[in-house]
Amino acid sequence: MRVDLHTHSARSDGTDSPAELMAAAVAAGLDVIALTDHDTTAGWAEAAAQRPRGLTVVPGVELSCASPVTGADAIGVHLLGYLFDAEHPDFRDARVRLRESRHGRAEEMVRRMRASGLPIDWERVSALAAGGPVGRPHMARALVGAGLAATVDEAFRLHLHHGSPYYVRKADVDVGDGVRMVRAAGGVPVLAHALAGRRGRVVGDDVIADLAAAGLLGLEVDHPDHTEEDRRHLRGVAGELGLLCTGSSDYHGTNKQTPIGVFGTAPAVLDTIIGLSTGTRPYAD
């Protein structure tokens, strides 16, 4: 059984609709995927309604967090949440705030780029986000469309990376609060790509230990942005702290090179995640 617990649809910054994402999973020979769009559960209903027979879909989210949450030393952290109750008020309100913050932040990044002579069009960026949480991949596609970068990857390298003068931070959730909210909503929190250093500074083992004490249940160990050494280290940390180890592709359609299913999660770990959750059930036959 092949299980990929981290994928994005066009409801956030992927390029496949939820139906296309599920078709891609089937075509790749996967049995289970989690739908983990950034800061939104907007794709859950379509995934439930259009799921191909035989494919299991784990509804989830990838929450924009930081540790600490403000200040110059804040480190951006992504928290995966699985099988939570999407209507839980505190958690739902946090996602609304994150999406609103993304909107203002994207407008400011576009304003900065335009002010320094990069004629990126806000209407285009906004249209690409299609009413969902707007992110840098939407800006990247607009830059490519305007001929200001050759590829999404080049747009990141030239203009959108975290050290760029155009970069503006989002208002993230404190990652400890994120863990507590996922648990309060009956979900299973797993720290995403914790050592993905090319995205910026990463948290230390002390932070991971604090999160485990706050209710974190797993670490995403096998991820395309981790080196072999990162993966070995995280597996050790997970062993010491009694955390689950997951693996996944972080598929974003054509916004990234990564094929769906490039890393996977052990079926027994998936069973444990399902067993620990009380918020909602997977979509399955």
Residue among 46 and 153 whose Cβ is closer to ligand AMP: 153
Rule CB under 5 A: say whether 78 interacts with Fe ion: yes
Contact status, residue 277 vs residue 271, Cβ threshold 8 Å: no
Beta-bridge partner residues of 58: 34
Q: Pick from 83, 173, 250, 263: which binds Zn ion (CB under 5 A)?
A: 250
Alpha carbon distances (Å) from 181 to 2, 5, 237, 244, 250 = 29, 20, 23, 19, 22
Residue among 113 and 223 whose Cβ is closer to Zn ion: 223
Q: Which residue is nearest to Zn ion (CB)?
A: 250
Cα–chain center distance at 147: 28
Q: Which residue is nearest to ligand AMP (CB)?
A: 135
User: Where does residue 242 rank: exposed (0-12), middle (13-18), buried (19+ CB within 10 A)?
Assistant: exposed
Beta-bridge partner residues of 67: 75
Binding site for ligand AMP (CB under 6 A): 13, 38, 135-137, 152-153, 156, 252, 255-256
The first and second tokens of residue 51, run together, are 């799921």
Residue recorded with tokens 């249209």: 127
Sign for the CA dihedral angle at 17, 19, 22, 27 comes to negative
Stretch that binds Fe ion, among 102-110, 163-171, 188-196, 218-226 (CB under 5 A): 188-196
The first and second tokens of residue 137, run together, are 């991949």
Q: Pick from 4, 13, 16, 39: which binds Fe ion (CB under 5 A)?
A: 13
Q: Of ligand AMP, Zn ion, Fe ion, none, which one does residue 156 interact with (CB within 5 to 8 Å by kind)?
A: ligand AMP
Stretch that binds Fe ion, among 78-86, 175-183, 241-249, 271-279 (CB under 5 A): 78-86
Q: Element (H or E) spanning 229, and its range?
A: helix 228-241
CB of 100 to ligand AMP, least distance (A): 14
Q: Of Fe ion, Zn ion, ligand AMP, none, which one does residue 159 interact with (CB within 5 to 8 Å by kind)?
A: none
Q: Of Zn ion, ligand AMP, Fe ion, none, which one does residue 136 interact with (CB within 5 to 8 Å by kind)?
A: ligand AMP
Q: Name the residues that contact Zn ion, by CB under 5 A.
A: 62, 250
Q: Name the residues that contact Fe ion, by CB under 5 A.
A: 13, 78, 192
